[in-house]
Amino acid sequence: MRAIILSIGDELTLGQTVDTNSAWLAKQLAGIGFRPAAHLTVPDDRDAIRQAFEESVGRCDALVVSGGLGPTEDDLTRQALADFLNQPLELAPAALENVERFFRALRREMPEKNRIQAMLPRGAEMIENTAGTAPGIYCNYLSGDQKTVCEIFIMPGVPKEMKIMFERSVRPKLAGGEPGRVGPGSAGVILSKTLHTFGLGESAVAERLGELMRRDRNPSVGTTVANGYVSLRLNAYFPTPAEAERQMAETASACRAALGDLIWGEDEQTLPEVVGRLLAGARETVTTAESCTGGLLAKLITDVPGSSAYFKQGWVTYANDAKTALLGVSPVTLQREGAVSEAVVAEMAAGALERSGADSALAISGVAGPDGGTTEKPVGTVCLALVARRDAAGGSTRTFIFHGDREMVRDRSAKMALTMLRFHLLGKPLPF
Ligand code: AMP
Ligand code: MG
């Protein structure tokens, strides 16, 4: 089954309001087996809306629309639907009762303008609105030659009202039963899962996944990149939820087999949260000594509620003097190796470990840019150190060259430090 999601409003096409309805609706529809075939956005323009109806009905089984049902001159969705259906707008008593009830509950007189909200194209049905004034509209479109059948649902644009209406009336109708149940009206269920990695580029991840990424595979596996993380998006499309779940679990473990511990988490999990859980599980604490990241690493660690269990303090030592005064970094090392060097971050981490009494210490020093790069240490060069109390080897240091602007270099540095700590806590070497 295919769906098209149509959003209507000048504020959307002008970019003043971000269209969050489409994203939300796409997820809901996928969950009941309707593959979103397109997202369309048109302004509050009668012809543009009518044309969107015309072009969509032949391409989908369900056209799910939001916006333009308000009582004012600029909301034209119902008029455009009437144009498209070639039917007159008529007052629908049930819809009028819905609008009047809303005003009665507020103990207010219904303004005459709101009567338009009770008008429906002949043959269409009202969808009850329990959260606002605008009833929705439903019609089952059938072309003259009966070749095109498409169910059209129109809901208000206000996200809260739209969501309530979708849950109460649209989803049950499309799924053919209770909310969340897959019924005769749908051809199956789409389950989605996301697995997150950090450290390898997108193509390197894809290479390891190999055949799993074949376009015709079900469940499908695709990759996306956001904020330095390469994530795998798994979509399973099957007739029953049980089958979709079984297949999803199988594909997820195949991905885990291909990428191993490069996968740090799933869906809504965050990297700092995952590292925090490992620290808490090991009953260990960590401290930080940062230069170019200016406290970002400590910020990420303390973004997690409950992080006080494993983080007591950290240092931001931006100037050489501060590295010496606060962490005991030797002026000789600074002079000889430069502030961005594995020797300096090793001393920063050792100093922080000793002064904090933590079980491990992370240190970062790098060239975040845009200035300060040299041929030997170009912008993006970042040295990281991890020193652990229980590590007889005395810790590890690494140098990376991160790509991107200042913000990206700082962000990737902090995430790489967390990744080094994660592998340390797993008792494994960094896999890159
Ligand atoms: P309307 O139903 O056109 O009267 O929409 C009412 C309000 O809902 C608009 O002013 C927007 O702020 C908001 N809105 C409409 N469509 C969307 C959408 N697709 N995503 C997010 N907000 C929306
Ligand atoms: Mg509008």
Nearest CA to ligand 1 atom 4: 70
Ligand 1 centroid distance, CA of 396 (Å): 53
Reduced to 3 states, what is the DSSP secondary structure of residue 141? strand
Instruction: Give the pLDDT of residue 180.
Output: 39
Q: Which ligand is nearest to the CA of 44?
A: 2
Ligand 1 centroid distance, CA of 87 (Å): 26
Q: Which ligand is nearest to the CA of 161?
A: 1
DSSP 290-352: ESTTTTHHHHHHHTSTTGGGTEEEEEE--SHHHHHHHH---HHHHHHH-SSSHHHHHHHHHHH
Instruction: Give the pLDDT of residue 146.
Output: 83
Q: Which residues pair with 41 in a beta bridge?
A: 7
State the DSSP H helix or E strand holding residue 397, giving kind and residue range, or none if neither.
strand 396-401
Instruction: Give the pLDDT of residue 187.
Output: 58
Ligand 1 lining (C-beta closer than 6 Å): 7, 9, 11-12, 17, 19-22, 66-70, 75, 156-159
CA distance 190 to 239: 9
- Prior bond to 241 cis, omega within 30? no
Instruction: Give the pLDDT of residue 147.
Output: 83
The pTM (predicted TM-score) of the whole model is 0.75
State the DSSP H helix or E strand holding residue 12, giving kind and residue range, or none if neither.
helix 10-13
Instruction: Give the pLDDT of residue 393.
Output: 66
Please name the residue that has the structure tokens 């969107």: 52
Instruction: Give the pLDDT of residue 31.
Output: 83
Ligand 1 atom closest to the Cα of residue 41 is 19
Instruction: Give the pLDDT of residue 240.
Output: 86
Q: Which ligand is nearest to the CA of 67?
A: 1
Asked if residue 361 lies in contact with residue 386, where contact means CB atoms within 8 angstroms, the answer is yes
* Grouped pLDDT means (10 residues each) for the chain, 432 residues: 96 97 95 92 98 97 96 94 97 94 90 92 95 93 88 96 95 68 54 95 94 93 93 90 94 98 97 98 98 98 98 98 98 98 98 97 97 94 96 85 96 98 96 92
Nearest CA to ligand 1 atom 14: 157
Reduced to 3 states, what is the DSSP secondary structure of residue 194? strand
